[in-house]
Amino acid sequence: MLKNISMSLGFLFLGYVVITYENFTVLLSGIAIFIIGMFFMQDGFKQLSGGLLERLLQKFTYNSFYAIATGLVATSIVQSSTITTLLTISFVGAELITLVQGIGVIFGSNLGSTTTAWIVSSLGVDVKISAYAFPMLVFGVILRFFKTNSFKGTGNVLLGLGFIFLGIAYMKDGFDVIKDQIDLTSYAVDGYTGILLYILIGLLVTIVIQSSAATLAIVITALNADSISYINALSLAIGANLGTVLTAVVASFTSTQDAKRVAGSHVIFNFVTASIITIFIYQFKDFVDLIAPYFGISDDNYGMKLALFHTIFSLVGILVLSPFIFSIAKFLERILPQRISSASKPKFLTPIVLENPDASLVSIKKEIINLYENCQKAILHALSLHTTGLNKETLAVQLNKDFTIIDTNIDEIYQTNLKSLYSEIIKYSSLAQTNMFDFQQKEAGELKRAASLIVEVLKDTRDIQKNLNFYLKSRNHFIKEEYNILRKELAEILIDIDTLKSLEDDAEQLTQFEIIKSELAQNDLSSSEEIDTLIREDKIKSTMATSYMNDSATGYSIQKKLVEVASILFLNSELIKKISEVKNETK
């Protein structure tokens, strides 16, 4: 209630300012247009990337140097350290990268976020960028009418740049007008009191507008308009960096321990770095003045000097803290120990990444693999097979032993654990799809199908469990042998899928998948031929034959569904899937 009242009063006050003070309206409009531009540009880069950030994080974070470089590149591409941070949290939570790698990416993303300040400072000083904004907006709108993602993505990027340029122009005009009427520099505060005050202001502004890039754009345009002093602008930049940690920290509150650890590394980096820079701020100011000419920056170009200071801020943090990444990871693991969750609780579905399609797809896939592994264990127990150390050699040993039933109630397992997990997957996937482009929605749809097939396989296993337990205790050696073969076929396909899951090389994956499909075809033929022979030779009763025929058909259906699940979850490359489909069609 109090929150709603506060928001209403805030909107009323803002409305009063906008209506009453026309000069402030120009400035506020510029800020609003700039933020809209950031959203468009981020969406455009995400659409154009087509999972590029996901591949960068997975393949190029194998040591601290490459992890930092990946964070730098990824953030420079999407112009948002928040997106990179959310992706990193998701990937660490999904166990696709380690916490140490994730911390490296966070460090690099802080450096990558400085590119926005360079863009704004280099374009917003002497260049009339509003002249470039309108053509970008026109072409951006036109390209958004195309159906392909590449054109739509390019259109969003152009719209984003156009709005950013237009926003900078409005902010610059706003500060120029305000400067003539109000001497903002008269509010400058000297000494460390002023530094700490402006750090707090920068932090609060970034928290309110949820974008350090927008805060820095405001600071740079104000600085270029001589509306604030240089040292106060540097203090605002420090505050903007501190403000960026809030989004990750708040979002991690309801997330996994891994998410909290990644957010914790973000806090450590920014606060340690801010402390060092604040203590020695005058020395760093002098250092920036000293090296600025080597970058072609003139003495009075304070906007670009601020961008250089912002970059030095992140570089100092990386140089000071990167040797201690392993120690930071151990510290975070100690203060945030892993919690044990039940099978019914999702391990990877974190709300923090719902708005990022790439990250949410990774989370969904990992959770469905978790569902598969839980169902796989239940299926093997329903077949009265022990799962510890199970492979084709140990399977043969178990099948040759006297049959002993493992008491497994699949209905109870599904109702108490897996139904809840499956429901959470479907709900999360549906929410995530609202933020996805067409090709991502298609992938999410395939993943939901995989989850549905896994549950169907579990229920199909329940349907054959009763007859299997009954006939494996039968005195009829022939029917007993047939049901044992059915157990063997189902278990072997699960073992083969585990082998596929462990492979990384594309060629090895394709070979293994072809082996699985070949075994599936042989199982279908051999079972039908064998049962016909037994019926003709009157070695099994007709009731046994009909029971086995139904169970065999169900068993083959289970295997087909498992192969489809494997193709969706465990084939890494889209090219492999297409090659496999072509081979299947030509047979």
Summarised one tens digit per residue, pLDDT across range 195-248 is 898 899 888 888 877 677 778 888 887 887 777 888 888 999 999 888 888 766
Which of 10-14, 59-63, 424-428, 549-553 is predicted least confidently?
Answer: 59-63
279/403 Cα distance (integer angstroms): 74
Q: List Cβ neighbours of 296 (8 Å cut-off, separation of 6 or more).
A: none
Burial of 564 (0-12, 13-18, 19+ CB in 10 A): middle
Residues in the chain: 587
How many helices, marked H, and strands, marked E, lie in the chain?
26, 0
The pLDDT tens digits for 377-391 are 999 999 999 988 889
576/512 Cα distance (integer angstroms): 11
Q: What is the pLDDT of residue 475?
A: 83
Highest mean pLDDT among 16-20, 75-79, 106-110, 271-275: 271-275
More confident residue, 365 or 84: 365
Tokens of 491: 């278990």
Tokens of 445: 């749809």
162/44 Cα distance (integer angstroms): 13
Contact 289, 130 (CB under 8 A): no
Q: What is the DSSP letter of 226?
A: T
262/366 Cα distance (integer angstroms): 18
Contact 119, 216 (CB under 8 A): no
Above 50 in pLDDT, residue 440? Answer: yes
The pLDDT tens digits for 48-74 are 655 555 566 666 666 778 888 888 887
Q: What is the DSSP string of 84-133?
A: HHHHHHHHHHTTSS-HHHHHHHHHHHHHHTTHHHHHHHHHSSSS-THHHH
Q: What is the pLDDT of residue 78?
A: 67
Tokens of 310: 């912002």
235/216 Cα distance (integer angstroms): 11
75/58 Cα distance (integer angstroms): 15
Q: Which domains does the chain have, with CATH numbers?
A: 23-335 (no CATH), 354-586 (1.20.58)
84-107 average pLDDT score: 79
Q: How many CB atoms lie within 10 A of CB 26?
A: 18
The pLDDT tens digits for 115-154 are 877 877 776 555 555 666 788 888 888 888 887 777 887 8
Helix (H, G, I), strand (E, B) or coil at 540: coil
Q: List Cβ neighbours of 341 (8 Å cut-off, separation of 6 or more).
A: 347
The pLDDT tens digits for 489-518 are 999 999 999 999 888 888 888 888 888 988
Q: What is the pLDDT of residue 172?
A: 67
105/58 Cα distance (integer angstroms): 11
Element (H, E) at 456: helix 438-471
CA-CA distances (angstroms) from residue 452 to 94, 342, 498? 21, 21, 19
Contact 425, 346 (CB under 8 A): yes
Contact 90, 356 (CB under 8 A): yes
